[in-house]
């Protein structure tokens, strides 16, 4: 089970109060990737399609970032394996607005 932590406005849009949990298909190498997690997230919550990555290009929206286990995954390939702690559900994949304050 994969955990995903969403920002406030996306939790409201998806009508969830807390982290979401997902069953994620493994890729050909048996790995969990950012793409497979986002595919599963959008399948379960289609109202989030287009809000995290572009409908057409599937690129990360510019003002969002991805973190897991204290690592910034925003610029990693969508097909790179996610850290083991995310794959095991020990830690969530964090989707975060790309502004620290203001």
Considering only residues 29 through 48, tell me which ones interact with other proteins, judged by CB under 8 A. 42-47
As measured in angstroms, the least distance from the Cβ of 64 to other proteins is 6
- By CB under 8 A, the count of residues binding other proteins is 24
Both tokens of 39, joined, read 């595919």
8 touches other proteins by CB under 8 A: yes
- Coil, strand or helix: which one is 40? helix
- Is 71 in contact with 83 (CB distance < 8 Å)? yes
Report DSSP state, residue 91: S
As measured in angstroms, the least distance from the Cβ of 85 to other proteins is 26
């Amino acid at each position: 089970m994969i955990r995903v932590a969403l920002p406030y406005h996306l939790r409201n849009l998806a009508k969830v109060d807390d982290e979401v949990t997902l069953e994620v298909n493994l890729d050909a190498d048996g790995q969990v990737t950012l793409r497979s997690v986002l595919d599963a997230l959008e399948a379960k919550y289609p109202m989030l399609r287009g809000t995290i990555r572009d409908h057409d290009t599937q690129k990360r929206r510019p003002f969002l970032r991805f973190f897991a286990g204290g690592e910034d995954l925003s610029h990693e390939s969508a097909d790179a394996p996610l850290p083991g702690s995310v794959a095991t559900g020990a830690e969530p994949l964090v989707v975060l607005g790309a502004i620290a304050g203001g």
